[in-house]
Amino acid sequence: MAARAGYLAVAFLSGFCILTVEFAAVRQLAPAFGQSITVWSTVIGVILVALAIGYALGGRLGERSTSARPLFVRHGIAAVWVLLAAGAGPNLSAALIPEGLPGDRLIPLGFTGSLVASIVLFAVPAVLMAMTSPFLIRLAARRGHEGRATGGIYAVGTLGSLLACYLAPLVLLQTIGTYATLTAVAITLGVLALLGLRLSRPGADTQEIPAAEPGPPVARGYVAVALITGLAVTILEFGAVRFMAPWVGQSNFIWATVIGVCLLALAMGSWLGGRWADAALSRGAVGGRHFYVALSVAAAWVGIATIVGPDLLEWLVPQGIESMRILPIAFRASMIATVLFFGPPLLFLGMAPPFLVRMGTHGAHAGRTAGVLFAWTTVGGLLGCFITSPLLVPAIGARGTLLIAALGLVAIALVALRPGAWRESSVRRATLPVAAALGLVPLALFVIHVAGRAPLRDQPGQIAEIESAYQTIRVVRQDVELLIPFLPETGAAPARLGDDGSAMTLFLRHDEDAETYQSLILEDRDASASILTGGRYFEHMALGAHFARRDPKTLRVLIIGHAGGTVYRTLTQSIAKDVKVTALGVEIDGAVVDVAREHLRHREIESSALTLITGEDARTVVNALPQDRVFDLVLVDAYARTNYVPFQLATTEFFEQVAEHLAPDGWVGVNVLGDGMKSPVANAVANTMSKALGAAYVAPNPVFPGNVILWSCREQSRPPRLQAGTRLHPGMQSAAFAFERLVVRHQFTPTGLILTDDLAPSDRLADEELGL
Amino acid sequence: MRFVVAMLALLACASAVHAKELPESIRRMADRAFLEGRLDDLDDILTAAEEPIDRLPLLVRDTWWRMAGRAGVRRAASNAGDALIMKRLEWLKLPEASAWPVPRDGEADPYPILTALIQDRVRREWKGHEGLPQDGPLKALAGRLDKRREKRTIWFLDRSSSHMMSVAYRGVSPHPDQVTADREAEDLRARNGLLAALALLGFLLVPTLIAGVAFRGAKADPSQGA
């Protein structure tokens, strides 16, 4: 019993450490290489490849071992490696930062560096930690009970991952930072190694396991099933988030909820599957048919979820909820929808490892079988990681992506239950028609989906929905009131465009966003119109052009978060025509620019004066800027998953880098979603800007208190001033009025929160501010 | 609009053509134009201003409120005679050094709104928002405003206090729509929370019960595996 408990404890801690290292790795490399989907996939991909190698090696090496000591030696090595990675990681990453902006580059900016850094820093500990599970199964499994041993260890390891899924991104990385998190993992592994070595020392009261004789290779059929189930699990996890995103968004809590429920389902499935496999297969191989029928049920379930899901989600998160109130409602809705729609299928998929190990094991080779099958499951996960968000969702949408995964499961079931695959004819007769009938559900739905793709969510006035690699983008056409309540009375600007007191406006909205927007254009306006965006924050950002220029005839701008080009359009159309504006715009999601070209007249603003870089994280671009590239104005309007200022674009190190590319009297403006002056996110970013640049000024927006613009310049402690003698564009009067009456100096508190590349809890602050 | 402003200003000046300083009504117009952000109108309103004290809003606008160098201040300071205006012109040369000069007791401020705006901005830009707007310079101004005539200014003060500063300004309560929206959101949150708890509980219980019933007979010897 003590040994059994020990194995489970080791499996739990290994599962926890592996996933924590994954989260920390992405976080540690982000300041150097950004968080574009290329870099993210590269880092996760390297770790998953390492895990696959580790599983296979663990199973093979485990067969030659007669005690658990080698396992703990590996944990010790992994501990030292992780500790070194924690310390050396930032320096190594900095040395690998690419130089030069992407012109004709074929390879994305951060790809090579992130690949090398993640291999050097994290591949070895991942390999070593992954060797744990098959090794433990080898130690724990007894003939006839391989399923139970595999299920138990896999389930407990998955529970460790479940804990890491919440603890690492939501607590550890947000409170103690990346370095301390990795150090904590190293300490955990080190303690585990020391304890394990002590308990398994020669002469201790431990069980010696005889070395196994070389056995036959694992059947290719089982390998294929492991690969496809691993692929399906990852597609379902990522697909679930994207499927629900139009209602619940992609905040950290939503990701944690979806991944958490998925891991819980997999753990329960493993535990249940282990017992089921031992019970079913004790009567012969024919028992395996249960597993394949279960996969068919999972496929049909996913198919039905894609049909009923939108209606349920619409009921759970109705339209019209304001952005500052929606997250607590959406978080709970995501829990309900994930449990109902994806819990049962993933529970069935969680049965795969114990069933396959039980079916594929010959003699005393449970560890090796488990290692090989886990490795192929991980390879499936790796494939899923690379194809789901970057390829499948943009190509066939989240609904189609989920149906593809379901069809893959049906295909496995039908092949496995095909005529002749089982000796007992009664088995074929009973199960094949059932599996085929269940498989018709996703097949029919997929055909319907491909024939006429309907939007996931429809808003009033919606004219397009595009699912990009990052988000769901909706183009919505609405008649809305302008946000200039008093200036029209002064005659400074006309109040309205339409007779009914409103303006037809095209918005780019994303994910759960039913109220706010990342870009817009007033449909009826033209270049000479006196209204720009009707008092919205784009005008407040563009105001920087009026105090960030030394040379009155030129303006060099860096726009981080170009999106649909509204900031650039507002800036260029509100500035005097004789000012030569040159701009570098960076947008991580190139699909947003494509949508803007199609629907928001983006091509009107494209010229040689505007250089656009898409598909790259802005931090990577700033890192790679040539030293002599100087800007008068840097505008940061970047958001990740609707609500978060990307942490790597809000740290001391980032602002210091930006300062190196600022003209002597240049200014930096950062748009922050936050509750006015009280906003903890805005205060943290302002404190960080004060630390890096000397002082920060907060410019609230009187017509929408949810946005503030933070301003800093290199000339320390100089409050921003509009230039006298400039006749402001009428559409900028509202912004100028608010700017001159409301700008407040941020009170720098050296002991307060200052965001750094290592510790930047901006996500946690945003979650708290939004009620999570 | 600017034409009307200029005509009104000229009419007011004509009625006091012999006076060296601008009439009080013109100063009030300039004060209000500053308050409402019509800074370009100041040129027309103060077109007849000769004395530094009357040109003060223009000097403030062009040397401190907006940035264009301080040559104008130096020229104006050379012939400034009044003590208060002298102090104010000196202040414009080096605004960070001291507080905006205010009249002595019993002495009237020629531009009280401008004074309040400057004091408010100095305080915001150097001390931050602590204490604003409850104790800020604009607070005193708010008390003198006519609710009907000065609705724009009141709107601005309300907004600046309750929204931007996240501090409830006296007399401002949440809009009824906001109260309703808050209540509806709270109801939805509670309903979804209950359903989420039930869903999770069911998900945990059902497979456990199935396993307990289905595999009770197949329970293995604990000594035989993990």
What's the CATH code of the domain at A705?
3.40.50.150
Say how far apart CA B66 and CA A719 lie, in whole Å: 11
Place of tokens 């793709």: A453
pLDDT of residue B71: 58
| Same domain (yes/no): A234, A107 | no
Distance between CA atoms of B101 and B87, rounded to whole angstroms? 6
For A394-407, what is the mean pLDDT?
95
* pLDDT for res B216: 61
- Within this chain, do residues B149 and B54 fall inside the same structural domain, yes or no? no
Distance from CA of A629 to the nearest CA of B (A): 27
- Is the distance from CB of A553 to CB of A582 less than 8 angstroms? no
pLDDT at residue B159 in the model:
61
Shortest Cα distance, chain A CAs vs residue B120, angstroms: 8
Q: Which of A428, A452, A476 is the last residue of a domain?
A: A452
Identify whether residues B120 and B63 lie together within a single domain: yes
- Number of Cβ within 10 Å of residue B171's Cβ equals 11
Burial A138-147 (b: 16+ CB within 10 A, else e): bbbbbebbbb
Last residue within a domain, chosen from A389, A421, A452 = A452
Domain identity same for A429 and A284: yes
Condensed to tens digits (0 to 9), the pLDDT of residues B88-112 reads: 988 988 887 789 999 988 888 889 8
3-state class of A473 per DSSP? strand
Q: CA torsion sign, A600 to A601 to A603 to A604? A: negative
Helices (H), A614-703: 618-624, 652-660, 680-693
Asked whether residue A730 is domain-assigned, the answer is: yes
Rounded to 5, what percent of chain A is helix, strand, coil?
60, 10, 30
CB interface of A with B, residues 9-48, below 8 Å:
none
Residue type, A649: L
A620 within domain boundaries: yes
- Supply the ipTM of this predicted assembly: 0.85
Q: Is the pLDDT of residue A26 over 60?
A: yes
Give how far B174 is from chain A: nearest CA, Å. 14
Q: What local confidence, expressed as pLDDT, does residue B190 receive?
A: 95
Angle (CA) A513-A756-A617 rounded to 5° is 50
Judge if A179 and A227 occupy the same domain. Answer: no
CA–CA separation, A140 vs B124, rounded Å? 69
Residue A692 lies in a domain: yes
A635-658: average pLDDT: 93
- C-alpha to C-alpha distance for A258 and A255, rounded to whole angstroms: 5
Alpha helices in A96-120 (DSSP H): 111-118
Residue A489 lies in a domain: no
Q: What percent helix, strand, coil does chain B show, rounded to 5?
A: 65, 0, 35
Q: β-strand A503-510 against A662-673: which pairing, if any?
A: unpaired
Q: Can you give the residue range of the structural domain that contains A391?
A: 220-452
- Same domain, yes or no, for A141 and A264? no
Cβ contacts of A752 on chain B, cutoff 8 Å: none
Q: Report the domain count for chain A.
A: 3
Is the distance from CB of A473 to CB of A596 less than 8 angstroms? no
Same domain, B109 and B16: yes
Number of domains chain B contains: 3
Q: Is B195 exposed, middle or buried (0-12, 13-18, 19+ CB in 10 A)?
A: middle
**How many angstroms separate the CA atoms of B121 and B128, rounded?**
10
Backbone angles phi and psi of A552, in degrees to 5:
-65, -10
* Residue A167: C-alpha distances to residues A20, A675, A764, A768 (Å): 8, 27, 12, 16
Residue A123's pLDDT band (boundaries 50, 70, 90)?
very high
Provide the shortest C-alpha distance from residue B98 to chain A (in Å).
16
Q: Are residues B45 and B88 in the same domain?
A: yes
CB contact under 8 A, B225 and A746: no
Q: Is the dihedral of CA A210, A216, A219, A224 positive or negative?
A: positive
Q: What are phi and psi of A638, to 5 degrees?
A: -110, 135
Q: Confidence band (pLDDT; 50, 70, 90) for B176?
A: low
Which CATH number does the domain housing residue A261 bear?
1.20.1250
Tell me, yes or no, whether B108 and B79 share the same domain.
Answer: yes
Q: Are residues A145 and A265 in the same domain?
A: no
**Interatomic CA distance for residues B39 and B42, integer angstroms:** 5
Same domain membership, residue B78 and residue B21: yes
Same domain, B162 and B191: no
A700 touches chain B (CB under 8 A): yes
Check whether residue B22 and residue B95 sit in a common domain. Answer: yes
Flag if B207 and A721 touch (Cβ within 8 Å): no
pLDDT band at B175 (very low <50, low <70, confident <90, very high): low
Q: Which of residues 620-679 of A touch B (CB under 8 A)?
A: 675-678
Domain with B138 in it: 131-173
Would residue A568 be called left, alpha or beta, if left means φ above 0 and alpha means ψ between -120 and 50 degrees?
Answer: alpha
Kindly list the residues from chain B whose CB atom is less than 8 angstroms away from the CB atom of residue A721. Answer: 64-67
* A residues 263-282 lying closer than 8 A (beta carbon) to B: 264-265, 268-269, 271-272, 275-276, 278-279, 282
**Higher pLDDT pick, B180 / A298:** A298
Cα end-to-end span (Å), chain B: 86
pLDDT at B142 over 90: no
Do B39 and B106 fall within a single domain? yes
What pLDDT is attached to residue A547? 85
CATH number, domain containing residue A12: 1.20.1250.20
pLDDT at residue B11 tops 70: no
Alpha carbon A303 to its chain centroid, in Å, reads 24
Q: Do both B81 and B145 map to the same domain? A: no
B72 inside domain: yes
Nearest to B163 among A487, A491, A705 (CB): A705
Is the residue at B218 inside a domain?
Answer: no
Q: Does the residue B223 lie in any domain?
A: no
Instruction: Please identify among residues 85-144 of chain B the ones whose CB lies closer than 8 Å to any CB of chain A.
Output: 117, 120-121, 124-130, 132
Cβ of residue B155 closer than 8 Å to a chain A Cβ: yes
Q: Is there a contact between A441 and A565 (Cβ–Cβ < 8 Å)?
A: no
Domain-ending residue, one of A420, A452, A484: A452
Task: For residue B214, give the chain A residue with the closest CA.
Answer: A276
